[in-house]
Amino acid sequence: MATRHKGSSREVKALDAYIKLMRAAESVSARLAPGLASAGLTVSQFGALEALYHLGPLCQRDLGRKILKSGGNITMVVDNLEKRELVERVRGESDRRYITVSLTKQGRKLIGELFPRHAGAIREEMCVLSDAELEKLGSLCKRVGLKDKA
């Protein structure tokens, strides 16, 4: 049996850290969502706009990878952003499978105004930690997030 004292204690620590990680993420998200909702955006919509804002036009596949969402989902998120004329789709010329999504003038304006405000709200949420603690948290999270990648 692999679970003796030490193993068991380790399992508890792993579980405990996992639960706190999830709680922290959910609870920060929940506190941030109203700020985005007040601009009429969901978290995914904001994520998509933000990716386009900072990375430039992307095809839907790449957009999906950036915001960690499935292909089927991206179709809907982009649909909804397109309805509000915040983004536009352009079918690729050389390879007609690709659809490049880019910000419209309105979309750029919205995310350009919203992003700094949202970033400020994030800083407020994280302000319980010191600079050093933020870095520590970041580096630990990064390792957990990247497990079995790269």
Which residues here bind a second copy, judged by CB under 8 A?
9-11, 13-18, 20-31, 68, 119-120, 122-123, 125-129, 131, 133-148
Binding positions for DNA, rule: CB under 7 A: 30, 33-34, 37, 42-45, 59-61, 68-78, 80, 89, 92, 94-100
Q: C-beta of 86: minimal distance to DNA in Å? A: 12
Axis crossing angle, helix 71-83 with helix 43-55, rounded to the nearest 10: 90
Decide which of a second copy, DNA, none touches 117; Cβ closer than 5 to 8 Å per partner kind. Answer: none
Q: Which is nearer to a second copy, 79 or 133 (CB)?
A: 133
Q: Where are the alpha helices (DSSP H) in 38-104?
A: 43-55, 60-66, 71-83
For residue 77, count CB atoms less than 10 angstroms from its CB and return exposed for 0-12, middle for 13-18, buried for 19 or more: buried
